[in-house]
């Protein structure tokens, strides 16, 4: 009985770590974050980042500009 609980906890922790690793790896390769509502793109650390549902990710400034986004006036990427 105790072994089953330990195994279940290990499985849950493994799933959570896997999900966290996937989430972080998908963000690392994208240096710039665009706001789909305003058409402005930002650096990752900008204080004016949009909420998650309004984000578009770009790996370069050129990609963001080519997609029709303009630079944030705060972080000036």
Confidence of residue 66 (pLDDT cuts 50, 70, 90): very high
Residue 64 neighbours by CB distance under 10 Å: 24
- What pLDDT band is residue 57 in, cutting at 50, 70 and 90? very high
User: What confidence score (pLDDT) does residue 25 get?
Assistant: 55
pLDDT at 68 over 80: yes
Q: Residue with structure tokens 């195994």? A: 7
Domain boundaries, the chain: 1-30, 31-77
Architecture of the structural domain at 31-77: 3-Layer(aba) Sandwich (3.40)
Dist. CA 1–CA 11, nearest whole Å: 16
Cα 52 to Cα 9, 13, 25, 35, 56: the distances in Å are 29, 24, 16, 9, 9
Please give the model's pTM, rounded to 2 decimal places.
0.62
pLDDT for position 35 = 98
């Amino acid at each position: 009985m105790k072994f089953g609980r330990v195994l279940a906890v290990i499985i849950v922790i493994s799933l959570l770590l896997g999900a966290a690793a996937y989430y972080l790896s998908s963000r690392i390769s994208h240096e710039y974050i665009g706001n789909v509502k305003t058409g402005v793109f930002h650096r990752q650390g900008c204080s004016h980042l949009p909420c998650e549902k309004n984000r578009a990710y770009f790996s370069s400034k050129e990609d963001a500009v080519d997609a029709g986004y303009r630079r944030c006036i705060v972080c000036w990427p």
